[in-house]
Structure 1
C-alpha cells in the first residue's frame, strides 16, 4: 500500500483494490473508507508513517456498504474513541441487519464483475460494524481544525452511497459513484444498483466546486477537478 500526500491535511491510501483517505487535523484523524477485510494493519502503518497513532482516528466515514469500503471498518472502530458515520439508507446493510441490493449489471459490465468476484473468492465477508451516526444530505461533519465537510447524498451506486465535500478546501470524496480510468478519464462508476440514478448523482457531484477529487477506484484528480468532472458529465449527456 502506498501513502500519497494530496494536500497539507489529506493523504491517499492506495490499496491494490480500492482506496481509503486520511484527513489529518490537530484534534484527530478522519478516515474515509476502510478497504477490504484485513486492511486495518496497513491503515495503522499509514497512520504511524504520518507521526500519529491509530488511537488518533476520531471518525470513520463509510461511503457505502460494499466490502472493499467497509471491509476493515469493525477493526478500525475498535481502535479507540472512533465515531462511525454512514448514510442512513446503507446503515442497515453495514450493521448486518439487512442484505444490500446487488448491482444491475449492463452487458459490458458482466465480464468485469465476474473477474472481480473471482479475485475475491475465498475472502471472508466483512463483519458487521456499528454505525454511530446516520448521515443525511447536507449534514455537517466536523473534521477538526475549524474545517467542516458536507455529506452529499449520492444514491445509485447503492441506495445510501454518500459523497463527502469539504467546501473550504475544495475537496470531494465521491465513493464509487465516480471513478477514474488508467488513461486518466473520469467516468461514471460501475456495478450500480440503480444505473440511471447513479448517472443523475454524477451530474449533481460534477456541479460542486472542487480542486481535488478522490475516488474509490482510480487515481485522484489533484488540479482543476471541477472542469474534469463537468466535462465527463457533459460527455455522458
Structure 2
C-alpha cells in the first residue's frame, strides 16, 4: 500500500518514487490534489481518495505546479475519472495542453546524469506515454484559490519552467513550492530543483520562497517534506551552487 501521510489535518502526502502528490480536504466534502505523478499514477491517487472515504467525483481540483511529466503525468486520466477542473500557471498552460513544445531544460553534468537515470527507470517500468489535458483556470502571481479550507496565495516562480507556480497557505504556514525546492531524503537539507530552463530565474524563485515569513512546513514534490525548522533549513540552502 502506498504511503499516505498526514501533514496537517487537511493535507496528506501520497508518496511516489518520483513526484509526490498532495491531497487536500476541502470544506464542501471534496478534495483537491497538488500535482498528479507520472503517467499511470491515477489508480493510486483514486485508491488514496477511497481510503479517505471519498468517491472519484469528490475530486474537485487538480492544481499543477508545472508542466513536467512527473507532475502533470496523470492529470488527463484523473479528469476522465473524476471530472475535476485543472488549474495551472498561465505560462505553462500551452505545454500542459500540448499546443506548444515544452522548453528543454539546461542540464549541468550532474543533472544530466540524474535525468538519464530517471528516464531509464521510466523505460524499464514501461511508463505510459504522456497525455495532455486542458487547463480550465490559468493562474497568475497574486491569485487566490477558491474552495480551500483557508486562503491560498498563488506565487509565480519561473525558472524551472516558464510558468511554474507555488501555493502559499499563510494560515497554516505551509508551502507547496513545486520543483523550485527539493530536499534530501532525510529532510535535513533543501536544494534547488534540478533541470531548469532558466537557472538564474530558478535561483531567484528559490530565494523568494525562502524569504516568506509565514512558513513552517514545505511540501516538496521530491524528497522529504520539511515539517520542523523549515525556515532555518531554507536559510542555510545554497541554490546557486547546487548541481554544479
**TM-score tier (shorter):** over 0.9
Residues 174/120 of structure 1: CA separation in 2 closer, same or farther (3 Å cut): same
Quote how far apart the aligned CAs of 1:75 are.
1.3
Aligned partners of 1:133, 1:98: CA distance in 2, in Å?
Answer: 18
**Take 2:79 and 2:102, find their aligned partners in 1: how far apart are those partners?**
21
Which residue does 1:94 correspond to in 2? 96
Aligned counterparts, 1:84-233, within 5 A: 84-121=86-123, 122-145=126-149, 147-183=150-186, 184-208=188-212, 209-233=214-238
SS at match of 1:75: helix
DSSP-derived class of the 2:215 partner:
coil
The change in CA–CA distance for 1:68 and 1:234 in structure 2 (over 3 A counts) is closer
After TM superposition, what 4+ stretches of structure 1 lie above 4 angstroms from structure 2?
Answer: 233-237
8 Å CA contact 1:202, 1:233 repeated in 2: no
Q: Please state how far the C-alpha of 1:26 moved relative to its aligned partner.
A: 2.8
CA distance in 2, matches of 1:100, 1:235: 24
2: CA distance, partners of 1:220 / 1:143: 24
Root-mean-square deviation (Å): 1.7
Deviations 1:165-224 (A, max 9, x none): 111111100111110012421111101111111001000000112111011100101123
Deviations 1:90-118 (A, max 9, x none): 00000010111111011222211211121
When the two structures are superposed, what TM-score results if normalisation uses the length of structure 1?
0.94
Q: Which runs of 5+ in 1 are unaligned?
A: none
- State the TM-score, normalizing by the size of structure 2: 0.92
State how far apart, in whole Å, the 2-side matches of 1:114 and 1:182 are: 20
Q: What is aligned with 2:60?
A: 58
- Paired residues of 1:203 and 1:233 also in contact (CA < 8 A): no
- Structure with greater proportional strand content: 1
Where do 5+ consecutive residues of structure 2 fail to align?
Answer: none
Whether the 8 Å CA contact 1:141–1:151 is kept in 2: the answer is: yes
Q: Does 1:41 align with 2:46?
A: no
Q: Please report how far the alpha carbon of residue 55 of structure 1 lies from its aligned counterpart in structure 2 after TM superposition.
A: 1.2
